[in-house]
Chains A and B, each alone.
Chain A
């Protein structure tokens, strides 16, 4: 028995690798509908976004700024949540401004956006009136600081080189006072911190910030959620799948999370087996 466990402890790690590879790939061939229970952070995110609806229902214009700060490497985690969020905002007839503090951010967001716009449902969504893509500009914190006072300082033209004055939406949105919410999708170190530090300073409580981040960044983002510095948090694939289920729009994240389930189970089984083997063989070692 002990010998068996000893062997087990010294199992070739390639077997573990193989099982992980299988568990992350095979489930992709199936779309297994699962009941997803959204966590508190995701529910807060959902609430924050739904809060905008009160205003839109009254006929007030609501403007949301979405900043993309991720690159293709983290697309599996961030793009699904970006898609779901944009969809929800479009459904609520919220005006959207796209921007990014990393070069690939806006194109990745627009990829999801354009995909959505192909749906006949959104055929009346117009560029310049319902949404604007400002693109990427270099400068991080300084960009945010500048935009707080005057967006045109940092973005005189949109991504296509059109003067902001020519875009009806941007004629109304001068600075962050005219923005109701900032949605930040980030995979970059620091994450939403820069936004908290520089975007909120002058606008005080008027504007909400919600944050979608990669799984690795989740723990460090929770304190901001707890302190109310951000109003909602979507963490990694879990957050994306949560939000997809909250808005009843299962897509990629819901698809991936099945594979994620299997992989987690495999890893946990390994940990359990490892521990059993460890305790069984411990006596001998001592």
Chain B
């Protein structure tokens, strides 16, 4: 059993959250409220020491007055709190959007379009190997069909009819199997985290499991 006060606090908070499973109760609500308050506080402090201090304050202190611009833009952001001048916050927002758009433009093109199209047209002729069903060629072919039919399925500008409709039909099959697989992994991930919590309770905290 742990002798650390912190671990005990963590243990009780864990139980407090889990108590929600029985039913919504004041203990859970209190833990939830603590979570809200602490995380808001944590991120504020974090932002201050990792962003505001090194990037803004230090630069201004050094005499780099270009950094007055983000300061002003940042303060404009706070204008949202005042209904009359709330529109001012669009300026910093516009800046952020501009950067995100500019950064995403090329990056997504390279990684998620060109890279993925390359991936979808891998060699289809490699049918050898011990077993047809396991051959890379078959997998590659099916994967290419999967990518194309999925894209077709999500293409709503044209009515799903004829060959196009049939491809979309194949697409939905792929999508269903694909989502099924995704579901499997999501379940796995959730369970893993729960196991982690259980391990915390029974091992780290109570010292029962080895």
Contacts and interface: CB of A to CB of B under 8 A. Distances in A.
In the complex, are there CB atoms of A and B closer than 8 Å?
A: yes
Interface of A: 14, 17, 20-21, 24-25, 28-29, 31, 73-77, 103, 138, 141, 193, 196-198, 201, 214-216, 218-219, 223-224, 226-229, 235-238, 256, 259-260, 263-264, 267
Contacts, number: 120
Q: Which 9 pairs from chain A and chain B are nearest by CB?
A: A227-B119, A76-B196, A215-B189, A219-B182, A237-B192, A197-B107, A25-B198, A216-B189, A28-B209
A196 B115 CA distance: 10
Nearest to B117: A227
B12 interface: no
Contacts of A24: 191, 194-195, 198
19 contacts: A21-B21, A28-B203, A28-B209, A73-B193, A74-B193, A76-B195, A77-B193, A103-B50, A138-B51, A193-B111, A197-B111, A215-B185, A215-B192, A218-B185, A226-B122, A227-B116, A256-B196, A260-B188, A263-B194
Contacts of A29: 202, 208-210
Contact of A76 (B46, B187, B192): B192
B199 interface: yes
B165 to A, nearest CB: 25
Interface string B174-210: 0000100110011111111111101101110000111
A17 B21 contact: yes
Interface residues of B, number: 43
A236 B185 CA distance: 8
Nearest to B23: A14
B50 A198 contact: no
B74 to A, nearest CB: 16
B111 A196 contact: yes
A192 B51 CA distance: 23
Contacts of B182: 218-219
Contacts of B111: 193, 196-197, 224, 229
Contact of A263 (B178, B191, B208): B191
Contacts of B185: 215-216, 218-219, 235-236
Contacts of A215: 185-186, 188-190, 192
A219 B191 contact: no
Contact of B189 (A31, A214, A227): A214
Contacts of A216: 185-186, 189
A264 B194 CA distance: 12
B124 interface: no
B199 A28 contact: yes
Contacts of B51: 138
Interface string B93-119: 000000000010001101110011011
Contacts of B122: 226-227
A256 B195 contact: yes
A24 B198 CA distance: 7
Query: Which of A25, A103, A193 has the largest number of chain B CB atoms within 10 A?
Result: A25
B143 interface: yes
A20 B208 contact: no
A77 B110 contact: no
A119 to B, nearest CB: 19
Contact of B188 (A73, A228, A264): A264
Contacts of B107: 141, 197-198
B66 interface: no
